[in-house]
Structure 1
Amino acid sequence: MALLTKPELRSASLRRRDALSVDERQEKSLAIATHGAEALSRFAAGKCVAAYHPIRSEVDVALLAHMLEDAGARLALPAVIDRETIVFRAHTAAGKLVPGGFGTMAPGEEAEIVDPDILLMPLSVFDRQGNRIGYGAGHYDRAIERLVAKGRKPLLIAVAFDLQEAPAVPAEAHDMPLDGVITETGLAWFGDRPEGL
């Protein structure tokens, strides 16, 4: 049986995710927030955590972000500044948001641009080897490359529903693997658990 291509895997996964009811997404997002906060709160204290504003049928990470902020994390959200680039802008749970590109909301241009220590990342597909498929624009890939070029290696944690898992995702040499994934059934680490967690 031939392996599915990235576009085929993305399309199938997004159809499954889109089929969840609003109530199912809310229930699963609450479970994800609970698991994520349990696993990350102490580690995230004093660190910058980049969350995201959900679009379409993505996991809503607002509650998880608020819980991590309550535990002492500094928050950030991505903002699209041109068709190729996202930056991460400082944010607080009570902060005002403006349209941030591609249907997202983000802090305004007056917000400080920051380099996150932890990236909570949306995606379309993941596998248990830490490979992921985004939405095809490459924004997170380029953002991670810029952080690594500056000597930063953020912890890369996908936030997804279990139904977004695939048996295998095609990976290329330049792809940066995930460190872990939070789903409604818990947080799973790929490879060694990061020190301090």
Structure 2
Amino acid sequence: MTDFKEDKKALRLRALALRDKMDEADRIEASLRLAEHGDDYLRDLEPGTIVSGFLPIRSEVDLRPLMMRLADRGARLCVPAILAGNLEFRELKRGAELVSQGFGTVAPGADAAVLDPSLMLVPLSAFDRRGGRIGYGGGFYDRAIQRITEKGIAPRLVGTAFACQEIAAAPMAEHDRHLHAILTEAGVIETGRTAAPVA
């Protein structure tokens, strides 16, 4: 188990170091290209679909251009808030006040509606082409996806990252969730894993 954790940590640090090396202008351009690919890939999105995204921290991909496109097509957006060590997804509306969540993150306040997304745009530190994902080490998304699944929802999981974060193989534990697809500035990687239709 120690080797497994150490392997994941080393891969995480290597991928994040590559992401951090990207020039800020390159990150902006890459995020805009990712939005174009994502908008095309998610063309089957039905109005009213609950979509979770996230607001960028550090050198993360900026999903706001894609989220705005999806909102314009009728998606109901939410982003994670940290509550008692777990994530809940609070509705994100234009003009809503955002409050600090720690870790450099912000989210809508406690008065925002809590939603269960059927499409999740998932952050990550590293990914592979089979849908393997290495997160940031806290297990927040794995636990959140488990809770949503226990409610009878099978969310479509779409990883979002820069192409430089790809690795050959992500070590996966039994509880880790595989992604159905990964969006990068280079295009969409279909992992071959089936997902419920977006509705």
SS at match of 2:40: helix
Gaps of 5+ in 1: none
Q: State the distance in 2 between where 1:104 and 1:51 align.
A: 13
SS at match of 1:136: coil
Tell me, in whole angstroms, the C-alpha distance in 2 between the residues paired with 1:101 and 1:52. 14
Q: State the TM-score, normalized to the length of structure 1.
A: 0.93
Aligned AA (1:58) = E
Stretch of structure 1 that moved more, 5-14 or 145-154: 145-154
Answer whether contact 1:78 1:86 (CA < 8 A) is retained. Answer: yes
Q: Is residue 58 from structure 1 mapped to residue 60 from structure 2 by the alignment? A: yes
Which residue in 2 is equivalent to 1:181?
Answer: 182
Q: Percent identity?
A: 43
User: CA–CA distance in 2 between the matches of 1:94 and 1:187?
Assistant: 31
**CA separation of 1:184/1:95 partners in 2, compared to 1, >3 Å: closer, same or farther?**
same
Check if 1:124 corresponds to 2:125. yes
User: Structure 2: which amino acid aligns with 1:166?
Assistant: I
- Whole-Å separation in 2 of the counterparts to 1:115 and 1:195: 15
Q: How does 1:1-197 map to 2 (within 5 A)?
A: 5-82=7-84, 84-192=85-193, 194=195
Summarize the Cα distance change of 1:173–1:154 in structure 2 as closer, same or farther, 3 Å threshold: same
Q: Residues 120-171 of structure 1: CA distance to partner in whole angstroms, max 9, x if unpaired?
A: 1110000011010000011101000101111111111111000000001111
Report the AA paired with residue 27 of structure 1: E
Deviations 1:63-99 (A, max 9, x none): 10010000110000100112x2010001123322111
Q: Is the 8 A contact 1:125 1:134 kept in 2?
A: yes
Instruction: Tell me how far 1:185 sits from its aligned partner.
Output: 1.2
Cα distance in 2 for residues equivalent to 1:188 and 1:44: 22
**Secondary structure class of the residue paired with 2:44:** helix
Residue aligned with 1:15, SS: helix
Give the paired residue count: 195
TM-score after normalising by structure 2:
0.92
Letter in 1 for 2:82: V
Amino acid at match of 2:27: R
1:138 aligned partner, one-letter code = G
| Letter paired with 1:6 | K
Distance 1:193 1:146, change over 3 A: closer
Post-superposition offset of 1:14: 0.4
